Amino acid sequence: MADWYDEVYQDQERYGLRFTQRLYDQQSPYQRVEVIDTTSMGRVLVIDGVFMTSERDEHFYHELTVHPAMVTAPRARRVLIVGGGDGGTTRRVLQHPSVEQVVMVEIDALVVEASKAHLPGLGSWDDPRLELRIGDGIAYVREAEVDPFDVVILDGTDPVGPGEGLFGRDFYRGVRRMLADDGVFALQSESPFLDRQLFLDIQRALADVFPRVHPYFGPAPLYSAGVWSWTLAGAEVDPAAVDDARAAAVEPSCRYWNRDINRGIFALPSDLRRELAR
């Protein structure tokens, strides 16, 4: 028998999915982690009542999180991922033949456990290039003594609970410390529609730390806002400077992203262009 799972946004909006079974439901020290089997989106990861990713639409989010950074960084050999416990971002990074090492720092082991067991198609957990660390990504970028990374990707939850500290200047300064001088930082930067002020705050905080900041936009069907945003930041990042060989290597594995998409996603809507110019 099917039932409904509703995500409620700030007691103002409700978005529901019809589901047939709850496959996983555990409370970690940080958050409640669930996996439900739905009739329209397949299996869905839910954290603290918020839809995170689904089998049916995850390619939009993960391809847009990963590929714009991976094809514009001058090099893409060493990659740091903060968050991303479902494994989808890591799998897309590892599709790039140039990658030699991926360090993934995820704070909640239960997210990884649930995803491995119930969303096994999302990750590439057995790839020998992957080093998985269960720990605090904020502390890692602040304290770890390691060689610089060519690309850093933040695949975090909304800025509440364990994700709250991932959206501030201190964290961004830590990311810059970890980046190569010409490296690229990519992150999801929330909805410019439902969370307009948060989106703008993220852009301004990034601009205080990085000389170049480039937001971009795309679909995220699972998220009730529809349109989502991501951002590239760095000392020299140029969204137009696509490495064609790197892009061509991953395009056959993509369902949404390609070089034509990449040229269009960085166009700023008129109202945001005016707001960010202030």
Is residue 155 annotated as a catalytic residue, yes or no?
yes
Exposed, middle or buried, 254 (CB in 10 Å: 0-12/13-18/19+)? middle
Pairing of strands 3-9, 13-27: antiparallel
Among the listed residues 48, 108, 155, 158, the single catalytic one is 155
CA 228/CA 226 separation, integer angstroms: 6
Contact in structure between 231 and 202 (CB atoms under 8 Å): yes
**Rg of the chain taking only CA atoms, in angstroms:** 18
One DSSP character per residue, 78-100 reads EEEEEE-TTSHHHHHHHTSTT--
Residue 56, judged by CB atoms within 10 A of its CB (0-12, 13-18, 19+), counts as middle
Q: Which residues are catalytic?
A: 155
